[in-house]
């Protein structure tokens, strides 16, 4: 049995604690189980051993962010298998993302485009949730959702985790209206198609979105980008990413500090190229919450290996990231004048 099939088996077991509703008829609208609203395999896993994943805090302790639900959303993505740009599996994921977002009442725009890559032209799709505000400014949240083109690589953490966090944020934020608009971007094509990360073979989706927003004159409306990537590890330690806009990083770290998450948000630095560079190069204040070194000793452990599987994911840490993002959005909503001064 390969690693991939083990991951799928584990996924099936984990479905035993997925909150009702997530596995209902939202995904593609077909409910093969009929009246019960439960997928047919639920009965076969009812006697499975109890779920041993770590406990997420109750949602009321994290502004409503449901870590267990986010974990289930990672499991769902992993169940599609490897999801590199241009694959059949990523089309399934795109359909799932759109149907979930629709079920949350989110308004969204999609941009289907093709990108010239080292293996030829690939179809890609960005998805952008738009929650209106009273004023023209926009707070942009983002993640990539494609997985690295590697054999047996199911990307539970990269980028299943941050994609799940953004979905769960969308579920909460699409019901709210703030002073400023909040947009949530799901980028395709962040990963390099070749093994190595070498410009321009990476960030296809975020470069496309930044260019498109620039062409439509919407780009200056974006006052901040908060990006997440690889945020679900059980040994999560986020360091201040050094390309990121300093005041924005400090704002997020101050939020984490106030919420008591100092053990996850470390007062250390790292330097990582990611989708935020596509916006930084166009002068949009941007920061990245990312943890590549998620091994037990703070070393690189399962990043870009077939070991990036669901068992590496912590529902609790997903909730911590979600909580920090929700509170950071509140901070940005209330500190807009300060933001303007710093532009």
Q: Which residues bind Zn ion (CB under 5 A)?
A: 148, 158
CA-based nearest residue to 65, from 286, 302, 228, 262: 228
Cβ contact 264:248 at 8 Å? no
CB 212, min distance to Zn ion, A? 23
CA dihedral for 184, 147, 239, 165, sign (positive or negative): positive
CB 65, min distance to Zn ion, A? 24
Judged by CB, which is closer to Zn ion: 224, or 238?
238
CB 147, min distance to Zn ion, A? 7
Instruction: Determine the residue with CB nearest Zn ion.
Output: 158
Judged by CB, which is closer to Zn ion: 158, or 288?
158
CB 97, min distance to Zn ion, A? 18
Judged by CB, which is closer to Zn ion: 158, or 241?
158
CB 320, min distance to Zn ion, A? 21
Judged by CB, which is closer to Zn ion: 63, or 190?
190
CB 146, min distance to Zn ion, A? 9
Beta strand 222-229 with 265-270 is unpaired
DSSP string for residues in 69-125? HHHHHHHHHHHT----TTSHHHHHHHHHHHHHHHHTT--EEEEEEEEEETTEEEEEE
Instruction: Give the DSSP letter of residue 204.
Output: H
Q: Which residues contact 10 (CB under 8 A, 6 or more apart)?
A: 309, 310, 311
Residue 312 region by backbone torsions, left for phi larger than 0, else alpha for psi between -120 and 50, else beta: alpha
Take residue 292 and report the two structure tokens written for it: 């590549």
Judged by CB, which is closer to Zn ion: 148, or 203?
148
CB 5, min distance to Zn ion, A? 22
Cβ contact 231:141 at 8 Å? no
Cβ contact 237:298 at 8 Å? yes
Around Cβ 47, how many Cβ atoms within 10 Å? 7
Burial of 190 (0-12, 13-18, 19+ CB in 10 A): buried
Judged by CB, which is closer to Zn ion: 63, or 308?
308
Q: Which residues contact 103 (CB under 8 A, 6 or more apart)?
A: 26
Judged by CB, which is closer to Zn ion: 51, or 305?
305
CB 191, min distance to Zn ion, A? 5
Judged by CB, which is closer to Zn ion: 158, or 201?
158
> Phi and psi of 18, rounded to 5°?
-70, 130
CB 331, min distance to Zn ion, A? 28
Cα–Cα distance for residue pair 129/108, rounded to 1 Å: 4
Judged by CB, which is closer to Zn ion: 213, or 228?
228
């Amino acid at each position: 049995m390969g690693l991939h099939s083990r991951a799928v088996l584990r996924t099936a077991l984990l479905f035993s604690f997925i909150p009702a509703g997530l596995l209902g008829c939202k995904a593609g609208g077909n409910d093969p189980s009929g009246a019960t609203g439960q997928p047919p395999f639920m009965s076969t896993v009812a006697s499975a051993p109890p779920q041993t994943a770590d406990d997420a805090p109750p949602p009321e302790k994290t502004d409503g962010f449901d870590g267990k639900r986010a974990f289930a959303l990672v499991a769902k993505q992993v169940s599609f298998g490897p999801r590199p740009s241009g694959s059949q599996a990523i089309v399934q994921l795109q359909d799932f993302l759109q149907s979930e977002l629709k079920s949350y009442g989110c308004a969204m725009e999609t941009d289907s485009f093709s990108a010239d890559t080292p293996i030829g032209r690939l179809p890609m799709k960005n998805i952008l949730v738009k929650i209106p505000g009273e004023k023209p400014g926009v707070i942009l949240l983002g993640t990539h959702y494609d997985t690295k083109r590697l054999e047996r690589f199911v990307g539970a953490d990269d980028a299943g985790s941050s994609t799940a966090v953004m979905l769960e944020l969308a579920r909460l934020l699409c019901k709210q209206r703030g002073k400023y608009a909040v947009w949530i971007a799901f980028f395709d094509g962040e990963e390099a198609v070749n093994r190595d990360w070498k410009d321009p073979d990476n960030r296809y989706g975020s470069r496309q979105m930044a260019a498109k927003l620039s062409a439509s004159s919407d780009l200056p409306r974006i006052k901040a980008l908060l990006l997440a990537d690889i945020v679900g590890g059980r040994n999560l330690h986020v360091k201040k990413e050094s390309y990121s806009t300093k005041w924005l990083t400090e704002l997020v770290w101050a939020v984490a500090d106030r919420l008591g998450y100092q053990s996850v948000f470390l007062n250390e630095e790292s330097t990582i190229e990611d989708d935020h560079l596509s916006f930084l190069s166009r002068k949009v204040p941007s920061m990245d919450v990312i943890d590549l070194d998620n091994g037990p000793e703070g070393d690189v452990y399962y990043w870009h290996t077939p070991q990036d599987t669901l068992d590496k994911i912590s529902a609790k840490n997903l909730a911590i990231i979600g909580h920090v993002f929700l509170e950071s959005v509140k901070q940005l909503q209330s500190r807009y004048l300060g933001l303007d001064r710093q532009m």
